[in-house]
Amino acid sequence: MSNQARYTYYRMKKAKNKVKRLVKGKVKFKLQPVPLSEQQIQEFVVYYNERKSFPGSKIPCNVTGKLTTCIGPWMAKKIKEFGSAEKLLRNYKCRGAVKTQKLVNKPVRKSKRKIKILELKDEQKNWDIPKMNLTPPSPATDTELKEITKTACLRPDIFLDNERFCDGCEFYSVCTNAMKCLLGWTKSKRKAKTK
């Protein structure tokens, strides 16, 4: 089959499909996004009564003209809600129009900020304030430091910065912690020392 014959065959097939669609009523219907006129509403109602669907499967909003898909269960629900297909076409408002109407109808309230003013009622009263101890605490003794270092390191910053070695710690001579070690030591030497 030559290209010309193939082209003619596909054109004929396409024309047959178009005729079939026209017969079935599946014509592409392009609706403009504007509210329906009285004549269009009557045509839509007649079409709905014949086929139980709207032409083009979309209906426009009566306020904004925005097109909304109206098919299947949603269409049945809306027709039941409005009472009939004609009432739906005359009174339908899209979600955006309903929101704007709510915002327009809602009065704007000016919010007054409540400022709390702290007032001292009894300014003349003498208050009992405990005295603060301003002397610095006494430093810990060597025995206290030995007791503390059994369970905790006094300078973990030095220990962790030096890759878990105590080089440069001023409490090394007093420390009794099991993790205590200098840089020259290795893990095997540490294990041997603890045994």
Q: Walk along the chain (195 residues) and give the pLDDT tens digit of each residue.
A: 566 666 676 666 766 665 555 444 444 567 788 888 888 888 888 988 998 888 888 888 988 888 888 888 888 898 899 998 889 888 888 888 888 887 777 666 666 666 666 555 656 667 677 788 888 878 888 898 889 889 889 889 988 888 888 888 888 888 998 888 887 655 555 555 555
Number of neighbours of residue 97 by Cβ within 10 angstroms: 16
Task: Give strand ranges (E) for the chain.
Answer: 58-60, 67-69
Confidence at residue 108, expressed as pLDDT on a 0 to 100 scale: 66
Distances (CA, A) of 171 to 150, 155, 190: 12, 8, 19
Q: For residue 68, list its beta bridge partners.
A: 59
Whole-angstrom Cα distance, residue 62 to residue 36?
Answer: 7
Distances (CA, A) of 63 to 55, 103, 158: 20, 15, 75
